[in-house]
Amino acid sequence: MNKQLEESTASAAREDLAYAPIHSLAAKMRSGELTAAALIDCYLQRISRHDEKYHAFVEVYADEARAAAEAADHAFKSGEVRGPLHGIPIALKDLIDVAGKRTTGGSLYWRERVSPVTATVAQRLADAGMITLGKTHMVEFAFGAWGTNQTMGTPWNPWDLETPRAPGGSSSGSGVAVAAALAPAAIGSDTGGSVRIPASLCGIVGLKTTVGRVSNYGTLRLSETLDTLGPMTRDVEDAAILFGAMHGFDPQDAQTFTHTQVDPLRDLKKGVSGMRFAVLPDEDFGELDPEVTSAFARALDVMRSLGARVDTLRLPIAYKRVAEIVGKIIAAEGYALHRGWIDRDDLPFDHDVRDRIRWARGLSAADYIQVMTERKEAQRDVHASLREYAALLLPTTPLPAVPLSEVDQSKAPMSLLTRPINLLDLCALALPCGFTSGGLPISLQIAGRGYDEPRILRIGWAFENATDWHRRRPPAP
């Protein structure tokens, strides 16, 4: 009996370690309570035991990760600590190049593609001492909000072990890996919601950065105009720490040239008292699941209880119209990037993604110029409307994760509330704000003006620390 109790206690301790946030893991390593080798082994064991079910990883770098952990522990003993990310594991979406490793972009067409360079974001995280566990699955070419992939497989949303549900896309594997504690954090990309949607459906935190904040050098692209990279984490403080390491000037990406470095941790815990938030009229949200509506209303009450003011704001352009413009830009630029192979019928593409990209064949140059003009006008008008507000609050997705059997690939409801943020060149944070009666996560989206990531992280931290939604765990497999 004592042996069974010891085994149960040890198992619970390993589970607690796997679900601990980065800042807690870093503190344990600094104190000598935890080694990088033990931490890496914890996650590699979980991947070995559970990823056959979750299908989060395309490839796992077990040997390299163990070697890097040994090097980190040796550095710790020598007093050479690089910072709060030293020795911490990370998973990378499979569109981020690591020289000498395969990067597929979620496509069988690129299954044997070997990265010629290392992406700036991967290099910066490595320089900070992070240890890459491997690459995560994604929607092919990063074009899809449901998170499905017909050719390389769809990751399993961990909040329902019986019924396969949409994990959210396109950073599906990154969302599942963090939610299922196969990694303490992951990097995703967001062109129309691809960090925030899986964060919403998988019950984690996701930060959509402003274009130019984080270098896109060394990543497989979908939209030259809209692509951004962002962290996917257990809590807001972790997202802030990762953002701090990821962002900044990169001579290899011109989009980063005019944006100075910021410290997202300086004001993180100063609260929201006195801030003024905007919310859209109900009709702008479209059709929301009733439980999403209720959770969002409660989230607004939490903000008010923290001393913030919440006002209804009607934007100068219909929110749904903004989402439609984004779809045209993504399709047009995606087709421009992939037209050399996407028109071939003899290649093993995901049919749904292929059809979305091929749709842009009928979009003329004049059409494209028109939507880009509309984008500039919308940016100007909406930024003026938001000038007096610290943030715009809205649900992240209108629905919780639906069964894959109910997914309609001809529709994109999951991105209706996220796409406009990309078009308007705002930044946004997604974080848990409730659960359905069936135990599925619901998410709050905090959108801020471009390059205002520190403030939306501050708002998210205040909300998160007034609630406990982020502490919930999916059922054990």
Q: Which residues are marked as active site?
A: 93, 170, 194
What residues pair up with 430 in beta bridges, in sequence order? 206, 445
131 closest CA partner among 61, 230, 235, 35: 61
Residue with tokens 């935890």: 34
What residues pair up with 230 in beta bridges, in sequence order? 188
Nearest 5°: phi and psi at 471?
A: -85, -10
Residue with tokens 């003006």: 449
Q: CA-based diameter of the chain, in Å?
A: 75
The tokens for 319 are: 């929110």
Residue 459 near residue 446 (C-beta atoms within 8 A): yes
DSSP sequence for 193-248: STTHHHHHHHT-EEEEPPTTTS--TTB--S-TTT-EEEEEESSHHHHHHHHHHH-S
How far is it, in rounded angstroms, from Cα 255 to Cα 223?
13
The tokens for 242 are: 């990762």
End-to-end CA distance of the chain: 24
